[in-house]
Chains A and B, each alone.
Chain A
């Protein structure tokens, strides 16, 4: 099967404009601007069943239909903040197939009536931002961006904006705050961005991979797109495979591919003759899956991963072999969330601090007999009380790690009270 998103793996140099054009590039954008009603574009994407690839899995067409037409101007913002540990797919798209992504931005902008779009990249994607700037300049020169596109009255400009190292800016309202020149802290919702977004105006925020799906959907139709994946999770997904596997990397596969196929057929299995102990399917934010045969045979789509007690998220599949203790894994994830908590809401700011504190005690063998229960209890108390998903995510590995791998924590050793 040829790639729909990672097309550079089939067509060399597709990150050059002439090669992209020679392979049908921008025909979908031309088609919508010159011949399709805005509503028809939204309807086609709705019909395709495309769901947000950034992690939440929200239906893309439905999100677009929420744009408030009583308030103007409108904006489209591409979320290129890719920061979930284990996720590295958007980076490959922007480096290798940037025009398909930018064409997706352009089609989305047309569909919601936006004349300006921003690509918000994490600060570390400095090179990618400069490359996209070059691509955007080429598109302007070739007449795909600017005023009166294809001799219509539609105009569009795309700008890049670099973050500066903050995981929270992947949360869409924190991203908008950051783009407005503020600290990246989430807003209270509702209102949601399609009503009140960038500069208080209706805004659609979509992930890079989501937008990259749009040109082929417009070009070949929703029915074609639905021939991939499952009924409720149609289409293809890029799975970022990392951790203890022979061949880590990005794999574009239909939604519903099993963990076993990804890890063993594509990823080459586990190195050093080790067994697979656990899987984190949504990066550091995952509930940890015990790698039983049943779990390995579970199809990876938005519904079925829940059957084994986790979520698909951004499909950043981290594989953990049986030489690692879950206690160590949990400690690592807590270092991450403590560092990335934005500090706005108390349960997350204080909770991640205390979870790391207790986890460090356990990890360093200074813990008391009650510390594992205390860590579990603190995590449970954070749940459902945070302003955004980050606080919730910080508890997932803690709660499921302790519930499903309790002996890893208890065997870490305890100190005498005097040392604690």
Chain B
């Protein structure tokens, strides 16, 4: 049975209600977010499930998942730390912040911590150019911005999120 319909029947219904009856395809992006929520990546079965609800082919869903950067087809950390290193942030030290953060976490650019919990990556402008350094965290809760950070405060936030994640898994 379709996992999304089984696990999130209300969310699916609420999402479809936003669009005209004959335009179910519009729900593909919100449904991909829903499919990604638990494991923070999208696998083939998810695409089949989304395709079934939207009335399009699995290939079409894959083309969409591959186009947008916030959908992940490769498994990574359940906590994705995404640091803006674009031009406006870089003028205020974002490249150095990112390099130090990676170093302290012991990961390469775009890498995942040895315990598999945290993936750290560079992203393009987040529309927070006045509050540098800035990063967003993408996890099961959605996306959260953390602005005016230091490497120390960032590490603290990441540690808290990591603990929350491991508690959830234990439970």
Q: Which residues of A pack against B, CB within 8 Å?
A: 82-88, 90-91, 122-127, 130, 159, 161-167, 178-184, 199, 240-244, 248-250, 280, 283-284, 316, 318-320, 324, 329, 332-333, 336, 339-340, 342
**Which among B18, B26, B91 is the interface contact of A324 at CB below 8 angstroms?**
B91
Q: Give every chain A residue within 8 A of B132 (Cβ-Cβ).
A: 248
**A-contact 0/1 string along B119-144, CB 8 Å cutoff:** 00001111111101000100000111
A359 to B63, CA, bound (A): 30
Question: Is there an interface contact between A162 and B33, defined as CB atoms closer than 8 Å?
Answer: yes
A161 to B28, CA, bound (A): 11
Q: Give every chain B residue within 8 A of A283 (Cβ-Cβ).
A: 88, 125
Q: Give every chain B residue within 8 A of A284 (Cβ-Cβ).
A: 86-87, 125
Q: Shortest beta-carbon distance, B108 to chain A, in Å?
A: 18
**Which among A87, A178, A329, A336 is the interface contact of B29 at CB below 8 angstroms?**
A178
**Given A167-B124, A243-B88, list of 7 further CB < 8 A pairs?**
A86-B129, A88-B127, A124-B143, A127-B143, A164-B29, A199-B23, A316-B88
Residue of A with least CB distance to B71: A164
Question: Is there an interface contact between B29 and A91, defined as CB atoms closer than 8 Å?
Answer: no
Residue of A with least CB distance to B136: A124
**A-contact 0/1 string along B16-51, CB 8 Å cutoff:** 001110010111111011000000000000000000
Residue of B with least CB distance to A89: B127
A308 to B145, CA, bound (A): 36
**Which among B63, B92, B124 is the interface contact of A183 at CB below 8 angstroms?**
B63
Residue of A with least CB distance to B32: A164
B69 at the interface (CB under 8 A from A): yes
**Which among A85, A179, A340 is the interface contact of B88 at CB below 8 angstroms?**
A85
Question: Is there an interface contact between A199 and B130, defined as CB atoms closer than 8 Å?
Answer: no
Residue of B with least CB distance to A84: B125
Q: Shortest beta-carbon distance, B61 to chain A, in Å?
A: 9
Q: Give every chain B residue within 8 A of A241 (Cβ-Cβ).
A: 130
A333 to B87, CA, bound (A): 7
**Which among A82, A126, A183, A184 is the interface contact of B143 at CB below 8 angstroms?**
A126
**Which among A86, A91, A162, A250 is the interface contact of B87 at CB below 8 angstroms?**
A86
Question: Is there an interface contact between B87 and A159, defined as CB atoms closer than 8 Å?
Answer: no
* B76-112 interface (Cβ within 8 A of A): 86-88, 90-92
**Which among B26, B129, B142 is the interface contact of A248 at CB below 8 angstroms?**
B129
| 13 A-B pairs in the complex with CB atoms less than 8 angstroms apart | A85-B86, A85-B88, A88-B127, A124-B126, A126-B143, A181-B23, A183-B63, A248-B129, A283-B125, A284-B86, A318-B129, A320-B91, A332-B86
Residue of B with least CB distance to A122: B127
Question: Is there an interface contact between A181 and B28, defined as CB atoms closer than 8 Å?
Answer: yes
Q: Give every chain B residue within 8 A of A164 (Cβ-Cβ).
A: 29, 32-33, 68-71
A91 to B33, CA, bound (A): 21
B64 at the interface (CB under 8 A from A): yes
Question: Which 5 A-B residue pairings sit nearest by Cβ, starting from the closest?
Answer: A164-B68, A165-B69, A181-B25, A242-B129, A126-B143
Residue of A with least CB distance to B123: A165
**Which among A125, A159, A180, A242 is the interface contact of B91 at CB below 8 angstroms?**
A242
Q: Give every chain A residue within 8 A of B128 (Cβ-Cβ).
A: 88, 91
A161 to B31, CA, bound (A): 11
Residue of B with least CB distance to A81: B127
Question: Is there an interface contact between A123 and B25, defined as CB atoms closer than 8 Å?
Answer: no
